Structure 1
Amino acid sequence: MKNKIKLYILVLFLTLSTSLPAWAQTSGILLCDDQGKTIYAKNPDKPLIPASTLKIVTSLAAIRTLGPDFHFQTWAYYDKTTCDLYLKGFGDPLFVSEEITRFAHQISSDLFKKVSEGQISSVVIRNIIVDQTYFTPQITIPGAGSSTNPYDATNGALCANFNTIFLKWDNRSRQYISAEKQTPFPDILAQQITPGSKKTDRILLSYDLRQNYPGILMHYFLKASGVEITGSIQKGIFAGSDKNCIVYTSGYSLADIVKKLLEFSNNFIANQLMLTMGACIYGPPATLAKGAAVLNKFAEETIGLRGVTIVEGSGLSRRNQVTPAQMREILIAFMPWYEFLKKNGNEFYKTGTLSDVRSRAGFIRGRDNRLYPFVIMLNQSRTGYDAIRRMLKAKVSTASRPLNP
């Protein structure tokens, strides 16, 4: 009789398990209060693909490792003997046209000052030599494609404008021109870029062009500042040192960068931060292995998580594995910077989407003004996503309702 009862229970369990909705078997959901006390949980310890919610981990690691007030630097060195100008990058993800313009003015001002002090006879640059060696070359991010779509922008030590250029068709001149007034489209680029059929198109530059693009823009802005340039753009090794170079400090703090990373879910920025942390902790050149090691070590030793798998910093890879309970601990640690997340009503959040993967993580502000961390991770099916969000918000509303006197 006992064996029949056990068999019945087993059959009943299997029937209930297989009759659950698909999303319930491949999902993890968790809601807690600001002290980590669970209000609702489903599969909290199930390893799942976080998609772009992983960027919260990368952001938190960067803030803790580099500091919110950290500013990236880019170096320049003028060799008075050869008249060559050297540029060296250290992974600045926001080395955009406006920043390069300011750096060019800093360089030209320094050169004109040297002329006035008699250190050099004239403001002439022969070659502009770009040093990319702080990162190992051609880093491949797991999960990233190899298309010319800006979504697949590659990483490097010295990248200008995310390794892209934004063009538009000009009917008057019957040619493509820059779609951004702050970014030129020099002939050297026009000769090598063939846009698609779109009237406006943001183009990911070829690998060779990416290496020299910062130098091409610097060449343009230096000439606009009155500097004569007689040579070409080349790749090479920085000839100066931290003692005799011109240091440009980015106008963006790390806090500014993280806000943009989370607002636009920028894969390029996320992995630039990961790679930079790897070089800072383990020494240059930056590699994927060093960057991933920093994130995994941070998750284990700083947050206290075991069994997390992080292979890159943006959430592009399906090999990334995090449980909802682990993401809860990450959110609690991220709480001081919750306002860096996108806001919609009383919700601060980061979403993540891959094929058949949908995730969302962040905080719901309750009626008591407390923050309630939540995690939604749906793998293999997106069914029930909106219903889950409504359910979690209703639970927060109930949990945060003031008690009757």
Structure 2
Amino acid sequence: MLTTLAVLQALTIVIGVYAMTTDFSLGALTRQSPPTKPTEGPPSAPVVTSGPVLAQLSVKPGDGPLPTKGTLTRQLTDALGDKALGDRVGAVVLDAVTGERIFASNADTPIVPASTTKIVTCAAALASLGPDTRFSTRVVQGASPGTVVLVGGGDPLLAGPSAKPVYPKQASLATLAARTAATLKAQNIRKITLSYDSSLFAGSPIAPGWKPNYVPDGEAAPVYALAMDEGRQNPRNRQPRVSNPPQYTAAAFASLLAKQGITVARSVRPGKAPAGAPELGRVDSAPLYSLVEHTLTHSDNDMAEALARHVAIKEGKEGSVEAGTKAVIAVLQRLGVAQGVSLSDGSGLSTLNRISPSVLATVIAMSGSANQPNLHAIASGMPIAGFSGTLGNGRRFTSRDSRGQVGLVRAKTGTLNNVNTLAGMATTKDGRLVTFAFMADRVPVTAEPVLDRLAAIVARS
């Protein structure tokens, strides 16, 4: 017999699928009437399935009326006066159908976004690469007989030998070893020298504005194109992270080959895959749309950083953090939502990032539009209040003034020291889809309960 939680989780999956294929209305699917009250993580460009999306939002039949502006303004203004937010706060609520501002306060002020940065990084990745793109980890023949090169394809979710199955289904290093061994045996090769090529990504593996404790504390691993289990020594634990993910991954691959009957020379070193070298084996990541959903739901810093670098490569630049942030902004400019955006990384760990509430809310509105099909994974990847991801941790939407909207808000969280942000979407009581962004970067302690209250006000407006 299914538990209540299991039923709700199953309903959440159905909602995500249904909403992306019909008129996007969260309230129509989840709202009860009346409502019951019950830290944040190959050396060629990937194949692109489609180009950037530049369509405008369109009116859909069945949209309810806009919420009463006067009432919403009064309630939000009162909540924004909470001292827990500090003295620099930006807020906006948009009609997702028309883009009209229903409420705005410092809406165009660039503010430290923390992990809501992932919204624009993922939007740029979907628009530039296309939602069906996959990242390949390959093994190719080396320059001389008996040499083999493991080539990183920028997939940090590549599963090592100790990883447990998760969603989305990960490419497996063990599968790659089995396929490679089968090819080598077919060629009557049972002894090799192994090297590894992580040159798809370039530059520093650490972004400007990252604090020294981020890697030791497990917030992220150093960013390389070859890594398994996101650089974790134990895939089930956030920390410790390994200092050299490519070498660590190559050593694990050598052990897996040995189990397949291939003898590997003791010395495993960095190398370069010869251009056009014959492929001995490969594994592909999950499609980009599911990687984006994972990134947003779980606030995955490692995946977000990889996505920014992939955008740079697709846009004709090197796969570095600096090129990645410039490429993300360039794609946002094509989408018409880059005003005031300044980025130093793709994940939001950097304290140097700046994004306005208006940009975040506009990107989210685009993701729910039928005219922006490439961006739908932004909407479906948002955590659901009280149920999933960073909004399902038992700490969010639990107070008296927000718990009544559990399940009715989808939003991305952002948390750094003195920074709290929340950007997402909700359907009003009359069935109008709206998007919002609330941002504060001079928070005395924590403002998460206030942000939940603000989102709840929007949802019940």
Q: TM-score range by the shorter chain?
A: 0.7 to 0.9
Name the SS for the 2:205 alignment partner: coil
- Structure 2: gaps of 5 or more residues: 1-80, 162-171, 369-375, 386-406
- Checking the alignment, whether the CA contact within 8 Å between 1:282 and 1:290 is kept in structure 2 is no
Name the SS for the 1:390 alignment partner: helix
Displacement of 1:370: 4.0
1:142-170 deviation line (CA, Å, top 9, x unaligned):
2323342321411012112212212xxxx
1:130 aligns with 2:193: no
For 2:246, the equivalent position in structure 1 comes to: 211
How far apart, CA to CA, are the structure 1 residues paired with 2:108 and 2:317? 35
Structure 1 ranges of 4+ moved more than 4 A: 382-385
For 2:439, the equivalent position in structure 1 comes to: 377
How far apart, CA to CA, are the structure 2 residues paired with 1:377 and 1:33? 18
For 1:320, the equivalent position in structure 2 comes to: 353
1:151 aligns with 2:219: yes
How far apart, CA to CA, are the structure 2 residues paired with 1:388 and 1:76? 47
How far apart, CA to CA, are the structure 2 residues paired with 1:31 and 1:201? 35
Displacement of 1:220: 1.2
For 1:163, the equivalent position in structure 2 comes to: 231
Displacement of 1:303: 2.8
For 1:300, the equivalent position in structure 2 comes to: 333
For 2:208, the equivalent position in structure 1 comes to: 142
How far apart, CA to CA, are the structure 2 residues paired with 1:78 and 1:385? 52
Q: Determine which of 390, 415, 429 is the counterpart of 1:367.
A: 429
Q: Which amino acid aligns with 1:123?
A: R
Q: Give the length in aligned residue pairs.
A: 337
For 2:419, the equivalent position in structure 1 comes to: 357
Q: State the superposition RMSD in angstroms.
A: 2.3
CA 1:70–1:395: 2 relative to 1, 3 Å = closer
Q: Which amino acid aligns with 2:91?
A: I
TM-score, structure 1 length as denominator? 0.77
Q: Which amino acid aligns with 1:103?
A: L
Name the SS for the 1:358 alignment partner: strand
The share of aligned pairs that are identical, in percent, is 23
Displacement of 1:93: 2.0
1:269 aligns with 2:331: no
Q: Determine which of 61, 70, 83 is the counterpart of 2:133.
A: 70
Q: 268-277 or 361-370, which moves further after superposition?
A: 361-370
- Structure 1: gaps of 5 or more residues: 1-19, 116-121, 167-178, 181-199, 399-405
For 1:110, the equivalent position in structure 2 comes to: 183
Q: Please show how residues 93-104 of structure 1 align to structure 2 within 5 Å.
A: 93-97=156-160, 99-104=172-177
1:238 aligns with 2:273: yes
Structure number with higher strand proportion: 1
- Checking the alignment, whether the CA contact within 8 Å between 2:204 and 2:320 is kept in structure 1 is no
- Checking the alignment, whether the CA contact within 8 Å between 1:155 and 1:271 is kept in structure 2 is yes
1:285-321 deviation line (CA, Å, top 9, x unaligned):
x122210111111222223432211221111122211
Q: Determine which of 271, 288, 303 is the counterpart of 2:321.
A: 288
How far apart, CA to CA, are the structure 2 residues paired with 1:395 and 1:203? 40
CA 1:80–1:321: 2 relative to 1, 3 Å = closer
For 1:28, the equivalent position in structure 2 comes to: 90
CA 1:314–1:78: 2 relative to 1, 3 Å = same
Which structure has the greater CA radius of gyration? 1
Q: Please show how residues 218-257 of structure 1 align to structure 2 within 5 Å.
A: 218-239=253-274, 241=276, 244-257=278-291
How far apart, CA to CA, are the structure 2 residues paired with 1:201 and 1:72? 23
Displacement of 1:222: 0.9
CA 1:39–1:364: 2 relative to 1, 3 Å = same
How far apart, CA to CA, are the structure 1 residues paired with 2:447 and 2:144? 68
Q: Determine which of 102, 112, 115 is the counterpart of 1:52.
A: 115
- Checking the alignment, whether the CA contact within 8 Å between 1:112 and 1:123 is kept in structure 2 is yes
Q: Which amino acid aligns with 1:34?
A: A
